[in-house]
Amino acid sequence: MDQVYLAAPFFSPLQIKRVHAVENALKKNPTVHSFYSPLHYQKADYPQNTVQWGRQIYNLDVQRVHGCKTVVAIIDMDGGDVDSGTSFELGMARQAGKKIVVVKFDPKEHTNLMIGMCCDAYLTSADELAKYDFKSCPTKPFEGKVF
């Protein structure tokens, strides 16, 4: 399985831009040997947005979260709270004992306390992620405003 699972919303051009920035950072990071980005795995054996499609994508993503070592999550949501799917993936990762690295591109925005407290490392840029040591997974606690 992959070393890193990338949890993130990808419903708008800005969100997709952030996903691509994080993917590029993971590719540049010498301590990352593989990662899984659900953005690129939305094809299924069923028509998109049907219940059957949803079950297949859900099962694949759950399997990938359980199989990874670390979940990297983008928690920016275009002026709102954290994406519900990303929140679910983070809760599942925490329960499964995975390391959690959060990336928030706009750290001036308040952070949901459940997300801020669940992460092992809180980063604020793709550049910071490109330099993060995924072998030792150093802690970098969240410090900021929560709601």
Kindly report, residue by residue over 93-107, the tens digit of the pLDDT: 999 999 999 999 988
Q: CA 86, 126, 23: angle at the middle one, nearest 5?
A: 65
> How many domains in the chain?
1
Residue 67 lies in a domain: yes
Residue 20 lies in a domain: yes
DSSP 8-state secondary structure symbol assigned to residue 146: B
pTM across the whole model: 0.95
pLDDT at position 1 is 66
**Separation in Å, CA 136 to CA 30, 101, 114:** 13, 12, 24
CATH number at residue 111: 3.40.50.450
Residue 40 lies in a domain: yes
**Separation in Å, CA 64 to CA 67, 70, 97, 142:** 5, 11, 14, 25
Q: Is the pLDDT of residue 80 over 80?
A: no
> Average pLDDT, stretch 77-97?
90
Residue 143 lies in a domain: no
> Average pLDDT, stretch 65-70?
97
pLDDT at position 137 is 96
Q: Which of 105, 76, 71, 67 is nearest to 88 (CA)?
A: 71
Mean pLDDT (the chain) is 94
Residue 26 lies in a domain: yes
Number of DSSP helices (H) and strands (E) in the chain, helices first: 5, 5
Find tokens 């405003």 and name the residue. 145
Residue 147 lies in a domain: no
Portion of the chain with pLDDT greater than 70, in percent: 98
pLDDT at position 79 is 67
Terminal Cα distance for the chain, rounded: 35
Q: CA 77, 80, 82: angle at the middle one, nearest 5?
A: 55
Residue 81 lies in a domain: yes
Q: Is the pLDDT of residue 39 over 80?
A: yes
Q: Is the pLDDT of residue 81 over 80?
A: no
pLDDT at position 78 is 74
Residue 142 lies in a domain: no
Residue 122 lies in domain: 4-131
Question: How far is 139 from 84, CA to CA, in rounded Å?
Answer: 25
> Average pLDDT, stretch 53-58?
95
